[in-house]
Amino acid sequence: MGTICMMGRRHDSKRRGRFRRKAIFAAGVVLLEAVALRIRSGRLGGNVIVRCRRGHLFTTIWIPGGSLKSLRLGWWRFQRCPVGHHWSVVTPVKAAELSEQERRSANEARDIRVP
Ligand SMILES: [Zn+2]
């Protein structure tokens, strides 16, 4: 009786440990993305100006750890560009580094309102 209880408990704690490692790993990935986004765009998430490989600027919702419409690779994302209507790798850009006109066109070009 006592042995079964101990074994059960040991099994339980092992499983919980594995879950915790996974959770810590997932949290670490999200945190890294948040830090990368913060460095690249000066923001922690929400509306972020991004530039595609062809140089188009547009605004997208970027939430570290949560995205339905793109493949995330750290601070690169693979998603549809609403300016050129093509798929591309996009990277966040700092609004402060853009000219007034670039900022305006980026603000006008917004993709679908889904993170
Ligand atoms: Zn583009």
Token pair 């949560």: residue: 66
- Residue that the structure tokens 């092992």 belong to: 14
**How long, in residues, is the chain?**
115
User: Considering the domain boundaries, does residue 114 fall inside one?
Assistant: no
Tokens of 10: 């040991």
Residue given tokens 């006008």 in the structure block: 108
- For residue 63, tell me if it sits in a domain: yes
Task: Supply the pTM of this predicted model.
Answer: 0.69
Does a structural domain hold residue 103? yes
Q: How far is the CA of 80 from the centre of ligand 1 (A)?
A: 8
User: How many angstroms does the Cα of residue 38 sit away from the middle of ligand 1?
Assistant: 22
Q: How many domains does the chain have?
A: 1
Residue 27: inside a domain: yes
Span from the CA of 27 to the centroid of ligand 1 (angstroms):
31
Structural domain containing residue 54: 2-108
52, 61 contact by CB (below 8 A) = no
Identify whether 115 is part of a domain. Answer: no
CA of 81 to the centre of ligand 1 (A): 5
Quick: pLDDT tens for 21-68: 999 988 888 888 888 888 888 877 788 999 999 999 999 988 877 666
- 83 pLDDT above the threshold of 90: yes
Domain assignment present for residue 113? The answer is no
